[in-house]
Amino acid sequence: MGEDRAKLLPFYLVIDMSYSMEGENLQAANDIMPALADAIAENPIIGDKVRFGLVDFADDAQVLLPLCDLLDPDITLPGLMTRGGTSYAAAFRLMRKQIEHDVLQLKADNYSVHRPAMFFLSDGAPTDHDHDWRSAFHELTHYDRQTGTGFAMYPNVIPFGVANADPRTMQSLIHPADGVKQMRMFVMDEGNKPAVAIRAMAEILISSVLNSGMGMATGSSGIALPDPDQLPGGVSSHTADEDFL
């Protein structure tokens, strides 16, 4: 019976691997997945509630770690490498295909699936034409419940902006942008170092995964983002309707 199916919450980290991420930023990015795996290992009940996937993008996008249980002993965490430009369109198009594939597979495996969460981290502006990446984002996130048109499996999108990422562009990627389940973005404060901000973003991501998974384990649901007053130093949080510039 459907009521007896275990419910999973898929998380994806979609991370910019353009050449501007080289050096300290790359090292900080490579520390994210091991830190997350360690945190879940210390809270194994959460491993039964969440699945995690890793996608990187540059001129193209690729799945580095298919959606999985990070406590699976057969999992090998991949390393990130810089390689090109900053195609937001490639990332969004790949994520639409990947989410659809993953949700259908989880349901075939007799799981109930909570709406996925997509953490999108970039350190720069998209190199695509504006229309291309905005169109790809629309295809990933638009769904009309009344007509049933669009992508019903759309993710909750939580943007992370560091270094030269444009805050207004990041703000336009918050989804849902309004309503009771409104998401937020996180951006590096002026004067902070990008590598330090990436490590702070990792703390936010890990906190969200742990708190969301724990919430599911205790009967609640939804993405649990940290409150603005609980953030690590050097980053700030904003909603889609907040005029902060």
Q: How far apart are CA 112 and CA 107, in angstroms?
A: 6
The string of pLDDT tens digits covering residues 176-231 is 999 888 999 999 999 999 999 999 999 999 999 999 988 887 777 778 999 888 99
Q: How far apart are CA 115 and CA 21, in angstroms?
A: 30
User: Which residue type, as a one-letter code, is found at position 181?
Assistant: K
* Angle of the 194-217 helix axis to the 32-41 helix axis, nearest 10: 30
DSSP 21: G
Bridge partners, residue 12, by sequence: 53, 118
Q: What structural domains does the chain harbor?
A: 2-238 (3.40.50.410)
The string of pLDDT tens digits covering residues 6-25 is 889 999 999 999 999 999 99
pLDDT surpassing 90 at residue 66: yes
pTM (2 d.p.): 0.94
The string of pLDDT tens digits covering residues 17-47 is 999 999 999 999 999 999 999 999 998 888 8
Phi, psi dihedrals of residue 108, rounded to the nearest 5°: -65, -30
